[in-house]
Chain A
Amino acid sequence: MLLITCPWCGAREETEFRHGGEGVRVPPDGDDPGWTRLLYYRENPAGPYAERWVHVHGCRQWFHVVRDTTTHQILSTRRLDGQEGAA
């Protein structure tokens, strides 16, 4: 089980959270390949991965996480506005 530091609430067990996938999704300019990418393609690196989680059984805030997909180590968590968490 992962121990995830919610920027608002502090370190809590993974079961309080839900994984939300790739961190930042940018809508395309309107071309088809761009939409294909937006709909179906996600980054899938081996190493640090920028993703989002939501503290669904806590404060219900979404936030940014950088996690290493080869070790599951959480490298950082940040609020959506980019601020470091107070917690």
Chain B
Amino acid sequence: MEHAFTNPEFLWRTPQPRASYDVVIVGGGLHGLSTAYYLAKNHGIRNVAVVERGWLGNGNAVRNTTVIRSNYLRAESMPLYDFGLRLWEGWEAELDYDLMFDQRGVLALTHTKVEANGVKRTVAANRLTGIDAEWLEPDDIKAFCPIVNVSPDIRYPVMGASLQRRGGIARHDAVVFALARAASALGVDLLQGCEVTGFEMAGNRVTGVLTSRGRIGAGRVGLVGAGRSPLLAGLAGFSLPIQSYPLQALVSDIVDPVLDCVVMSGTLHVYVSQAQKGELVMGAGRDTYHSYAQRGSFQILEHQIQAALELYPIMRRAHLLRTWAGIVDVTPDASPILGRSPVDALYINCGWGTGGFKASPVSGYVFAHALVHEVPHELATSFSLERFETGTLVDEHGAAGVAH
């Protein structure tokens, strides 16, 4: 009998490495793939390889909790993240792929006066910049998201919340598939199982990457290694002001629809959304110690579940199904590092830490520009590595925090 079903079409080509490429991107997560896609699409640079030590989308690309929003605080960050959100708004059509991008609204609860003042300040800054943002009092919160416990007698009563209605979630694997397909169709070679183990240099200029699949020549190299960026920089002979920590998340079993927005709480270190399938997807704060092990400590999960049960009593009946961790690349100011490195022709895109999923489009967009023009895109001029020498940091701890 004939097979009852056939395998689906492959979404991307699996070529052998060429001897050299105009640009080699190291890292096949969302930001590496997005960079390659925009190199080809926006700049016509198609002689490009993405080299990936594992498989495409093995790292944070598919370990994140997919919260998308642009309500950051600083004048430098807001235009960057909001341009990113506008790219998301057109991405499903552009990539011709159902990304399950869903602008269901992101609610950020506050529990102390200091936190409420800080969040109100961010709401005001957002509105002045043309980013949609609202302040909700507890009664409005109850109407918008009925499962939140707004009673005044809980341990940390809810004092109000910000709401970005344009914020939401998407399906992360679909984004990997869509970008890989689009980049491959434009001519980008996606080289999996290809670990970069060193760099070939001529003086202070990088001329190629040494990989587990041999040497590959490169006109320019972009490092997009997320949590492993410090190790890549080390191979190239420089350091990054980045520390790598585990960040954990979990899902419950499948339950009836109870939650149709994203709710986060910075003070209590928990945020939650409900996937279209029905699982409650929850994230917490990061673990405290450095790690490359892609797992964290149990008490972080315990703490986040305690907070969730107090804020959303209905979740008492859910069961924990699965937990995991990714390694996040945390900078001193919770802002990314984009642009030149101390090595000529070697560019870096890292430091998105706990919050880079939302930036998948804009990260690749601006980084492709830097790789081609050798100067930062106008949205990214404030995010150079030099800012740690000049002291012009872009402090987003308030807006980044637990609220990815």
**B-binding residues in A (CB < 8 A):** 1-2, 14-15, 18-19, 21, 32-33, 36-37, 39-42, 44, 46, 49, 51, 67, 69-72
Contacts and interface: CB of A to CB of B under 8 A. Distances in A.
B299 A15 contact: yes
Contacts of B242: 44
Contacts of A19: 288-289
Secondary structure at the A interface, as helix, strand, loop or mixed, is: mixed
22 contacts: A1-B297, A1-B298, A14-B297, A18-B288, A19-B289, A21-B243, A32-B389, A33-B389, A36-B389, A40-B388, A41-B239, A44-B230, A44-B242, A44-B290, A51-B290, A69-B290, A69-B291, A69-B292, A69-B293, A70-B293, A72-B289, A72-B293
Contacts of B297: 1-2, 14
Interface string B216-247: 00000000000000110000000111111000
B288 A72 contact: no
Contacts of A2: 289, 297
Question: How big is the B interface, by class?
Answer: 20 to 34
Contacts of A18: 288
A70 B292 contact: yes
Contacts of B332: 39-40
A58 to B, nearest CB: 16
A37 to B, nearest CB: 8
A42 B292 CA distance: 15
Contacts of B389: 32-33, 36
Contact of B241 (A1, A41, A72): A41
Interface of B: 230-231, 239-244, 288-293, 295, 297-299, 332, 388-389
A57 B292 CA distance: 27
Contacts of A69: 244, 290-293
Given A36-B388, A40-B388, A71 B293 contact: yes
B237 to A, nearest CB: 14
A66 B239 CA distance: 21
Nearest to A36: B389
A42 B293 contact: no
A51 B239 contact: no
B223 to A, nearest CB: 14
Contacts of A41: 239-241, 388
Nearest to B297: A1
A36 B313 CA distance: 47
Contacts of A70: 291-293
A32 B241 CA distance: 15
A14 B243 contact: no
A67 B332 CA distance: 22
Given A42-B243, A67-B289, 8 more contacts: A1-B299, A33-B389, A36-B388, A41-B239, A41-B388, A42-B241, A44-B290, A69-B290
Contacts of B295: 72
Contacts of A39: 332, 388
A51 B230 contact: no
Nearest to A46: B292
A84 to B, nearest CB: 22
Residue from A36, A39, A46, A71 with most neighbouring chain B CB atoms (10 Å): A46
A46 B293 CA distance: 9
A1 B287 CA distance: 11
Contacts of B288: 18-19
B351 to A, nearest CB: 11
Contacts of B298: 1
A74 B179 CA distance: 40
Contacts of B240: 41, 44
Q: Which 5 A-B residue pairs are closest in the complex by CB-CB distance?
A: A40-B241, A19-B288, A44-B230, A40-B388, A19-B289
A16 to B, nearest CB: 11
B346 to A, nearest CB: 18
Contacts of B243: 21, 42, 44
Nearest to B231: A46
Contacts of A44: 230-231, 240, 242-244, 290
